[in-house]
Amino acid sequence: MDRKKKHQGLWKRIYRCRQLYLLVIPGMITVFIFHYIPICGLQMAFRNFKASKGIWGSDWVGLKYFIQFINYPYFEKIMINTIRISLYSLMTFPAPIIFSIMLNELRSNKVRRVSQMITYAPHFVSTVVVCSMTILFLEKDGVINLIAQFFGREPENLIANPAAFAPVYAITDLWSGLGWGTIIYLATLAGVSMELIEAAKIDGAGRMQIIWHVQLPHLKPTIVTLFILRMGSLISVGFEKVFLLQNSLNKETSSVISTYVYEVGIENHQYSYSSAIGLFNNLINIVLIVIANFVSKRVAEVSLW
């Protein structure tokens, strides 16, 4: 009887919020079609896919393509390049936090709005345009080399320098994403209690002490959550930017998993092999996000689940 009443109460609540559920349904359908149905295609990584036979009709080969990728002569180099670029990008993670605190501390609303507009703008610039600008700036006769020459340094084509690829990738990533990355932190800082700040000032706390003891603890759950999510995509280095900045001279350090998937999948039509590499990449990301979540739960007492 209790169960029957519980079900009746549930249906009453659903009916009461029916308009909200109707708004949610299109999003749920979209997610199901584009994110859940394609999961069936993952079996391509375990089959010798033939277009004439289809996914279900192709022969099952098990872990053949995973083993093939691990035994690939340049497997180690591709993994090292991917991890190196990912770690360089991860080093920029604190930048939006620091910048959002700096913006929050500005007294002039006009200066704050102008600063936000200037830093948000690069996010809306196409990746192709960003990469084209980067190549032009880093060429031998580019702006960066003109500045370097002014200080007595010999000009160098930095985009062709293999050692410079990872830092260049991280810096351009930071430039295009810094302003956009501050939005969520600024929204969190807006929720800091002014009474708490005033109480800290009465107790004699300076600006840096307020930031350290009031604002950062308030930001902690947001920082940890975003860091865990960032760890979940650590190995998934963006294909577009790497591919557009890549050339024959820097390929030694710019060949990553995503570009190799493009080469074997799109250029060489090895669909099963490329699917296996993509799945391998995603499995590593899942392991990383689980580890990051476990560590943050133990250390910071904040986690996704």
Is 132 within a domain?
A: yes
Question: Does 305 fall in a domain?
Answer: no
Exposure on the CB side of residue 192, measured as CA atoms within 13 A:
26
Same domain for 289 and 192: yes
Q: Which domain holds residue 284?
A: 68-299
Task: Print burial letters for 235-273: b (CB count within 10 Å at least 16), e (below 16).
Answer: bbbeeebbebbbeeebeebbbbbbbbbeebbeeeebbbb
Domain membership of residue 93 (yes or no) is yes
Helix then strand then coil, % of the chain, to nearest 5: 75, 0, 20
Q: Burial of 158 by CB count in 10 Å (0-12 exposed, 13-18 middle, 19+ buried)?
A: buried
Regarding whether 187 and 88 lie in a shared domain, the answer is yes
Same domain, residue pair 125 and 263:
yes
The whole-number pLDDT of residue 207 equals 86
How far apart are the C-alpha atoms of 64 and 67, rounded to whole Å?
A: 5
pLDDT in tens, 229-260: 888 888 878 788 999 999 888 989 999 999 99
Same domain, 111 and 31: no
pLDDT of residue 205: 84
Predicted local distance difference test score (pLDDT) of residue 4: 64
At 251, the amino acid letter reads K
Query: Which residues in the chain show pLDDT less than 70?
Result: 1-8
Separation of alpha carbons 253 and 165, rounded Å: 7
Domain stops at, among 20, 35, 60 = 60
- If asked whether residues 213 and 155 sit together in one domain, one would say yes
Specify the pLDDT at position 32.
Answer: 94
Average pLDDT, the chain: 88
User: Using CA atoms, how far apart are residues 145 and 183, in angstroms rounded to an integer?
Assistant: 34
Residue 304 lies in a domain: no
Distance, CA of 246 to CA of 254 (rounded, Å): 6
* Exposure string for 19-56, b = 16+ CB within 10 A, e = fewer: eeeeeeeeeeeeeeeeeeeeeeeebbbbbebeeeeebe
CATH assignment of the domain containing 248: 1.10.3720.10
The verdict on 49 and 98 lying in the same domain is no
The count of structural domains within the chain is 2
